[in-house]
Amino acid sequence: MTLLKDWRFRPWKNGAAAGELTAAQFDATRLEAARRAMIETQIERRGVRDARVLNAMRAVPRHAFVPPDLRSQAYEDAPLPIGAGQTISQPYMVAAMTAALKVTENDRVLEVGAGCGYHAAVLSKLGREVVTLEYRAELAADTAKRLAEMRYDNIHVHCGDGTLGLPELAPFDAILVAAGAPAPPPPLLSQLAEGGRMVIPVGTLENQELQLIERRRDMFQTTVLDSCRFVPLVGAHGWKDLPLR
């Protein structure tokens, strides 16, 4: 009779015999498999096939950006709460927005809505520098600490009103807005470089359309990409008088 080991119910020990996995190794292997499955089933099959974007998402451990109690759900096809009434976006939406932005290796990128830092980490694999703005001070501090510990050295976290952008650091080759706006904020449009691209959800509080805005001198061409639903963009040129949770 041949006895088969069942790893699912094996009690883990501090050490492991040769050829056996430790608990940490097993967890890492499982998460890596989940990340590969996310890329294949949620992103590639829905039409996002930009190799640079796919490689960036393979390289960034999404589970490291979610609360510990949600780690097992990190690679599911859904947004997840990260605290302060904010979410980490659905993996497909991260991929679709990033692909539409067409970031090149020399681009400087402004992200509005840092959240937990996951999307900035993906963008950092594609461009030269990522500047990310977060409205909530505590979230900005936590995200800056996380990104520094993970050695994302080309990401710079700022706290402030994202609808105003960062004129002192402009222009930006690409701007990604990770919250729903009633209209594209004029300060962000003015901070786009010639030939720059902005991806932004625009619409009501409940439903938005994802827009790609491209600058050609003083003209802005808008293309509607998809329907979506994001948390509100709060600020002088966003939604006002909304309670911060």
Residues that are catalytic: 89
Which alpha helices (H) appear in the chain, and where do they start and end?
A: 23-37, 51-59, 91-101, 118-124, 137-149, 186-190
Q: Are 234 and 160 in contact (CB under 8 A)?
A: no
Distances (CA, A) of 155 to 39, 206, 229: 24, 31, 26
> What φ, ψ does residue 234 adopt, rounded to 5°?
-100, 140
Provide the residue type at 150 as one letter.
Answer: M
Please give the full DSSP string across 46-88, using - where no structure is assigned: GT---HHHHHHHHHS-GGGGS-GGGGGGTTSSS-EEEETTEEE
Question: Please, are residues 163 and 174 in contact by the beta-carbon 8 Å criterion?
Answer: no
